[in-house]
């Protein structure tokens, strides 16, 4: 299976106009194009989704089972609050790479904690939209799909 789910949480639909001093001017459509191009370069496909609703994100994680080889997840503020999302990830046993546009560790203390990190393969933050491409590449490596085959 060579498909990845790129899943985006609350308020990320407003990228480009939302706090550009923090998140930049890149829109979510731009992020999607970047993800498509990175995935294509790696011989993979993506499904790109965004929701402002916790339950919809959980349903998307459940539905990914059997459909996708892994998930790139920017859970937005749910990162810092959602045990339910953490449990959903544990329940489907799919590799997840956590991504954030901003460096959450350099921001308010409440953003330093992540319920996603303990159940993720790893976390990429602070590189803006480029972090999504890095996350796709990291997931491809984890899945053994990069040349050389076995890096994780
Ligand atoms: C974010 C960081 C979160 O703390 C915040 O709530 C977001 C965006 C990021 O991509 O930097 O909505 O996930």
Is 64 a residue whose pLDDT tops 70?
A: yes
In a domain, 21, yes or no: yes
DSSP label of 118: G
In a domain, 51, yes or no: yes
pLDDT of residue 3: 98
pLDDT of residue 148: 57
In a domain, 44, yes or no: yes
What does the alpha-carbon distance between residue 44 and residue 89 come to, in Å, rounded to a whole number?
21
Q: Name the phi and psi angles at 80, rounded to 5.
A: -95, 0
In a domain, 147, yes or no: no
Q: What is the model's pTM?
A: 0.95
Which residue's CA is the nearest one to ligand 1's atom 12? 76
Q: What is the CATH number of the domain that holds 31?
A: 3.40.50.9100
What's the domain count of the chain?
A: 1
What does the alpha-carbon distance between residue 89 and residue 91 come to, in Å, rounded to a whole number?
5
CA–centroid distance, 102 to ligand 1, in Å, is 7
In a domain, 59, yes or no: yes
In a domain, 96, yes or no: yes
Could you read off the pLDDT of 10-47 as tens digits, one per residue? 999 999 999 999 999 999 999 999 999 999 999 999 99
**For range 92-103, the mean pLDDT:** 97
Q: Say if CB 121 and CB 96 are below 8 A apart.
A: yes
Name the residue range of residue 131's domain: 3-142
Q: How confident is the model at residue 152 (pLDDT cuts 50, 70, 90)?
A: very low
Sign of CA pseudo-dihedral 56, 36, 64, 25: negative
CA–centroid distance, 37 to ligand 1, in Å, is 23
Is 81 a residue whose pLDDT tops 90?
A: yes
Which residue's CA is the nearest one to ligand 1's atom 9? 100
In a domain, 152, yes or no: no
Is 67 a residue whose pLDDT tops 60?
A: yes
pLDDT of residue 62: 98
In a domain, 150, yes or no: no
Is 134 a residue whose pLDDT tops 90?
A: yes
């Amino acid at each position: 299976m060579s498909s990845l789910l790129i899943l985006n949480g609350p308020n990320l639909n407003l990228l480009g106009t939302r706090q550009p001093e923090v998140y930049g001017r890149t829109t979510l459509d731009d992020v999607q194009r970047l993800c498509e191009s990175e995935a294509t370069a790696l011989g993979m496909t993506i499904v790109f989704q965004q929701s402002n609703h916790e339950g919809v994100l959980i349903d998307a994680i459940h539905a990914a089972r059997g459909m996708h080889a892994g998930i790139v997840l920017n859970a937005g503020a749910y990162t810092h609050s959602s045990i339910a999302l953490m449990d959903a990830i544990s329940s489907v046993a799919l590799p997840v790479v956590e991504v954030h546009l901003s460096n959450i560790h350099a921001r308010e203390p409440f953003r330093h904690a992540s319920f996603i990190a303990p159940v993720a393969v790893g976390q990429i933050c602070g590189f803006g939209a480029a972090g999504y491409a890095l996350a796709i590449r990291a997931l491809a490596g984890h899945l053994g799909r990069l040349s050389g085959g076995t890096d994780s």
